Amino acid sequence: MIFSIHIPKSGGTTFKEYLNQCFPGRVAFDYQHDKSKILEELPGDTMVLHGHFKSNHYKDHFTNARYITWLRNPTQIPVSMYYYFLRNPDMDNKYCVRLYEQNQSLEEFILSRKNWNLATKFVDGKPLSDFDFVGIVEEYDASIKLFNRIFKIENEIIVKPRNQNKSKSPGKYELDPLLIKEIELRCMEDMQLYREGQKQLKDLVNKHFKN
C-alpha cells in the first residue's frame, strides 16, 4: 500500500490525477476523515490511498506501507488558500467563514491565523527520510522524474494542472516582503521541513540519475 499524503494547497489535486493514470482503478481516496468507513469500503486491490490524512493515520492497519507527499514553499500556501476560498467558498471551514463574515483582505486573512504549519501537521512527526518520495511543487519536473524512477512508471504521462488560480501569473505569488516575513513567522516549522525536503530531493535525484 502506498499512502499519498495530500497537504492542502500543495499540488495534491493535480497529483491525484497523475496517480489515477499511473495505477488505473487502484487508487482510493480519503477526504472524509472517517477511518473506519474508509477501511470498510477499501477495495482489496487498492494500491494507493490518497487524501487529507496525517501520515500516522493508518499505521496500525498496514505494515510495510510506503509513504509519499509533496511540499510547497510555505509562504505560498496561505495566499493560495485565500484565493481558493474566494473561488470556492467552503462554509464548513471556519477560516473561510471568517473570511466572508469579516470581508477579510489577503493580509487580514493571513494575519488572523497564528499557525500556518500545515505540512508539519500532516507529516505528523514522521521523518522525511522515512518517506519513499517527497516532491517539491516548485521543482515539479525533477520531482515527477524521480517519482517515476522510484515507482517504475515507464509510460509518459501528461496531466494538466488542476485547481489552479487561473488569474495568477505563472510562478509564485508576488508578495510584499514584510508580509512574507509575517508568514514565515507563522510557519517556521514548515520552513524547516521545506528546506529538508529540498535537500532530500536533490540528494535522491543525484543518487538515481548519476551521469
Write the pLDDT tens digit of every residue in 87-111: 999 999 999 999 999 999 999 999 9
Q: Once rounded to an integer, what is the mean pLDDT over residues 192-206? A: 97
Q: Is pLDDT of 81 > 60? A: yes
Q: List the domains of the chain with CATH numbers.
A: 2-208 (3.40.50.300)
pLDDT score of 25 more than 70: yes
| pLDDT at residue 210 greater than cutoff 80 | no
Residue 133 has pLDDT above 80, yes or no: yes
Mean pLDDT of the chain: 91
Which of 166 and 108 is assigned the larger pLDDT?
108
Pairing of strands 27-30, 2-5: unpaired
pLDDT category at 155 given cuts 50, 70, 90 is confident
Q: Specify the pTM.
A: 0.90
Straight-line distance from the first to the last Cα atom of the chain, in angstroms, rounded to the nearest whole number:
32
What confidence score (pLDDT) does residue 165 get? 57
Give the residue-averaged pLDDT of 156-178. 68
Residue 121 has pLDDT above 90, yes or no: yes
Min mean pLDDT across 162-166, 170-174, 181-185 is at 162-166
170, pLDDT greater than 80 = no
Asked whether residue 119 carries a pLDDT value surpassing 60, the answer given is: yes
Contacts of 185 (CB under 8 A, 6+ apart): none
Q: How far apart are CA 102 and CA 108, in angstroms?
A: 9
Q: What is the pLDDT of residues 62-74, one digit of tens each?
A: 888 999 999 999 9
Please check whether residue 173 is in contact with residue 73, taking contact to mean a CB–CB distance below 8 angstroms. Answer: no
Average pLDDT over residues 153-175: 68
Phi first, then psi: give them for residue 65, nearest 5 degrees. Answer: -70, 155
Quick one: cell of 83?
484565493
